[in-house]
Structure 1
Amino acid sequence: MAFVFFTLYGLLSVSNHLRLGTTGFDLGIFEQIVRSYAEFRAPVAELKGPGFVMLGDHFHPILATLAPLYWIFPSPITLLIAQAGLLAVSVVPVTRIAVKLVGRQAGFVIGMAYGLSWGLQTTVDFDFHEVAFAVPLLAFAIERLLREEWTAALCWAAPLILVKEDLPLTVVAIGAYLFLKGQRRLGGWVMASGLVSFLLILKVLIPAMNPAGVYGFAGDLGQDFSWLELPGRLFDHDKKLVLLLSVFAPTALLAVLSPVSLIAVPTLLWRLLSVNQSHWETGFHYNAVLMPIVFLALADVLAKGKLILPAQTYRKMLRVVVSVCVAGSVIGITTLPLSKLTETTTWQADPQVAAAHRLMDMIPDGATVAASNRLAPQLTDRTTVQLFPAIRPRIATDAEWIVVDTHFVNWPRSAAAQAAELARLRETEYRTVAEQDGFILLKRA
């Protein structure tokens, strides 16, 4: 089953990339990070800013483990395939423990529903992100927790600290789970270790590598955040309620009855408290880490239900859960991102894509290029890529080449501002080398 999902995830993400469906923010940035590690340099991403060391943005040193793969296959596709593999591997522990706890047939249904879950699909559909490492680590860790193999669980959970700066709080939650299961000394030690790691990363390590000497995302809580506002902030928007319902609905809401769901609290908490509305969305990559938690929580609830419920009541509950999982799988195949694999346009040559590549092929290897967001990851493996236009208008474009997709969207600046900047550069510092199907290639005069 894991191999099937690896194939599906890989086909989806690679086909996105080949059709210019990936972006500089974030695939291009992550390739620049991995390329830096592969070249034994600090993890700099020029797309973020000139000489910007990305450990001063988010804390993800685990990305260095991709360097050996990048030595062999220096391409953004390497990152996409690695992500597909990491997510697919997580299907193994989820399915394995589900089969052990609720039986072969129901266990495989849970495993399939997990592999097709919306949180994993939206992650695969949006570039590459470091949280892909967290998904299998959490899946294997929780499997061991459910088997009461505490040491093995902690061995799987410990590397979460190296994935992203918020995940030490998930380690704290794992410690709380251990405490509730009677492992009080161990649980207390894990909670303390996770909290110390979290504070060290946010207060010392990231600011030390950030050009402004701060953690740049602290503002996501709002300028005047007060803990007294916490209860009201959690549910002050319809999108937040939709998010919570969407996370637990694939389990017929039963996952909330398991103490395993406690492990999801830190991720849900920081997202619901954030003033950044994208954190409340059901799209993007933010939900990937929640999927193994809720599906393993479901298996835990079903296992406990088998012990305490009358046989007939348990069978009815199991039928409901299996029906919900099957329905979720059907939805996952027919309406979520994997459904793009059934569309003929996914496999047809696109003249616009060909035109874009004709222009990009004129740029020599090793050049410095300012590129539109969806063109940037096509060039990061062989050139030094900046974003066009720069997110901050005060940062001037100093690239030798500029390649622009004039099908403007309102990011990183408004479409009008992007068009104006392009016109200014064409009239002053750059000459037009080629122009085709809405793509323009400029070279410094």
Structure 2
Amino acid sequence: MFAVYVTLSVARYLTGNPASWDIGIFTEAVARYATGQAPVVPIKGMDVLGDHFSPVVAVLAPFFRAFPSPVTLLVAQAALAAASVVPVHRAAAELLTRGEARLITAAYGLSWGLSAMVWSDFHEVAFAVLLLACSLSALARRRAWPAVWWAAPLVWVKEDQGWTLAAIGLIIALAYRQRLAGALLAAWGAGWSLLAIWILIPAMNPNHAYPYWKDGSHHLGVLASGWETKGPLLALLLLPTAGLALRSPLVLAAVPALGLRLISSNPAYWGTDWHYNATAMPILFVAAVDGLHRLRAAGRPSWARGVSPWLAAHGPALMAAVGATMVFQSPLNQLWQPGTYRTPPHIQAAAHAERMIPSGQWVATSMGQLASLGARDEVCWLQCPAPPEWILLDQGPGTWWQGQIEPSTLTGHYPHTTYRTVFHADAVWLLERTGPA
């Protein structure tokens, strides 16, 4: 799975096809951490801890210092996602048979939520995927305190993960009768989420507010809308586990994150794209393992009829079959598309232009070059607050993220500064500042 994830994500980066500006933002943030600075990112124009509370990405700084490239982040994400396979397998191997564990683990590794994450460049939730897999695997095997210790660092992955911790704590306290462990974890998670959202993020945000209240209208009225998108999402979340996840209390750990998405007024959170479903995968698959174990432990009463006995016998095989089938509809489908590995001429031209820019410069650039330049320069997306030393504009086909912008439009933002064109090929312009800043 590590090889699959690395191939998928690195190929997208190398061919100049970023999913968004996020890979550039995270690259700049980690580059700052690697030099011992606060993660003030020119792309966002702020300290990224004032956007999302995700200090966990600082652990990548030593690796980035050794290998200063966005690829370092993509490889780390692939490693985190692939490592999460191990605790899922451990839970399945202990509670079921070894053969069934392999089938379920294969289905998990191929799950569409994980592949969507690695296809969407880099995001901090990759850390949450591994921590959740380890925590819930321990809990499924009736090891409450290890589950607490694995879950506790989630509060430093993202500000909303504290609510997931609170749910896990309640599960430990109520379903597993470990009241002290559960209460402590729930308080730890809820406390950190409240602290991050109300104090830490506003303190570092230029507007002194939590910026995602704008995606709010978080109320029940929003919950009633958008079900042409939300309904398929729920179905696709349950399908890979053949519904077995619903037979375990562990599935409730997915409720806070999913609930916040469904009551958000931002439709981007309602679907199957991006990285938003990655953290649900370890929860649902470990819950399926636990649910299947509970189903078998309960036995088959004389009155039992219908699908439950069949699922108890054939659930792992069905999960593997569904996982293999869904590969053709998930981002893993990109692995055998020739275009995935083809670098367009304008991206080759942009790479040549990048090599003409010395390190440590201020550069205004297109989205496709944010990450690569952000690893070594101070980079802004198209427009900097002050005249940059270089402007790199890629207007090649497929650069949907900016539309058609003429170089004169960008230089027009700096009326008292002059630029000269030093490179122009395949709809790529490189301009160097020649006049006063």
Q: TM-score by structure 2 length?
A: 0.91
Assess, with a 3 A threshold, how the Cα gap between structure 1 residues 425 and 220 changes in structure 2: closer, same or farther.
Answer: closer
SS in 2 for 1:246: helix
* Offset at residue 23 of structure 1 (A): 5.6
Aligned 8 A contact 1:405 1:439 in 2? yes
2:395 is aligned with 1:421 = no
- Alignment partner, residue 365 of structure 1: 359
- Alignment partner, residue 436 of structure 1: 425
* Offset at residue 425 of structure 1 (A): 6.1
2:395 aligns with one of 377, 401, 406: 406
User: Counterparts in 2 of 1:28-43, with a 5 A limit?
Assistant: 28-43=24-39
2:190 is aligned with 1:195 = yes
What RMSD over aligned residues (CA atoms) do the two structures have, in Å? 2.4
2:266 is aligned with 1:271 = no
SS in 1 for 2:431: strand
User: Counterparts in 2 of 1:324-335, with a 5 A limit?
Assistant: 324-335=318-329
Distance in 2 (alpha carbons) for counterparts of 1:156 and 1:61:
17
2:294 is aligned with 1:298 = no
User: Counterparts in 2 of 1:302-341, with a 5 A limit?
Assistant: 302-310=292-300, 316-318=310-312, 320-341=314-335
Deviations 1:311-363 (A, max 9, x none): 99766214553343233332344332223222333344543322221122111
2:47 is aligned with 1:58 = no
- Alignment partner, residue 20 of structure 1: 16
Distance in 1 (alpha carbons) for counterparts of 2:232 and 2:389:
46
SS in 2 for 1:375: helix
Residue 373 of structure 2 aligns with an amino acid whose one-letter code is: L
* Offset at residue 186 of structure 1 (A): 2.8
Distance in 2 (alpha carbons) for counterparts of 1:403 and 1:23:
19
Q: TM-score by structure 1 length?
A: 0.90
* Offset at residue 409 of structure 1 (A): 7.2
User: Counterparts in 2 of 1:4-153, with a 5 A limit?
Assistant: 5-22=1-18, 25-49=21-45, 52-153=46-147
* Offset at residue 420 of structure 1 (A): 7.6
* Offset at residue 188 of structure 1 (A): 2.3
2:179 is aligned with 1:184 = yes
Stretches of structure 2 lacking an aligned partner (at least 5 in a row):
none
- Alignment partner, residue 258 of structure 1: 248
Residue 233 of structure 1 aligns with an amino acid whose one-letter code is: V
**Count of residue pairs the alignment pairs up:** 427
Aligned 8 A contact 1:235 1:241 in 2? no
Distance in 1 (alpha carbons) for counterparts of 2:421 and 2:414:
7
Q: Percent identity, please.
A: 40
Aligned 8 A contact 1:23 1:374 in 2? no
Aligned 8 A contact 2:248 2:294 in 1? no
* Offset at residue 183 of structure 1 (A): 1.8
User: Counterparts in 2 of 1:164-175, with a 5 A limit?
Assistant: 164-175=158-169
Stretches of structure 1 lacking an aligned partner (at least 5 in a row):
none
* Offset at residue 83 of structure 1 (A): 0.3
Deviations 1:269-310 (A, max 9, x none): 111111111111201011110000001111111001111232
